[in-house]
């Protein structure tokens, strides 16, 4: 399992948390997702054999947030 912290801009409320955690958490191979609104970060634990970092970033981007 890989663990990564992504800097994500544009999240400001609980709806944002649910959108990101729900969409990323639904990806096959993602074990855990935790959004920190104050720090503007998303912690992801995932199996790199099943899902790529690019797929995770694209999923967050598709929700309307900017991944740095």
Going from N- to C-terminal start, the domains of the chain cover 2-63
DSSP sequence for the chain: -EEEEEEEES--SHHHHHHHHHHHHTSTTEEEEEEETTTTEEEEEE-TTT--HHHHHHHHHHTT-EE-
Query: Do 3 and 43 contact (CB within 8 A), yes or no?
Result: yes
Q: What is the pLDDT of residue 51?
A: 98
pLDDT in tens, 9-36: 999 999 999 999 999 999 999 999 999 9
> For position 22, what pLDDT does the model report?
97
Architecture of domain 2-63: 2-Layer Sandwich (3.30)
Residue 23 has what pLDDT?
98
Cβ atoms of 17 and 33 within 8 Å: the answer is no
Mean pLDDT of the chain: 97
| pLDDT recorded at residue 68 | 86
pTM, entire model: 0.94
């Amino acid at each position: 399992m890989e663990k990564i912290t992504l800097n994500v801009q544009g999240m400001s409320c609980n709806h944002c948390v649910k959108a990101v955690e729900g969409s990323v958490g639904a990806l096959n191979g993602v074990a855990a997702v935790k959004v920190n609104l104050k720090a503007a970060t998303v912690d992801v634990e995932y199996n790199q054999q099943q899902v790529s970092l690019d797929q995770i970033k694209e999923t967050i981007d598709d929700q309307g947030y900017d991944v740095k």
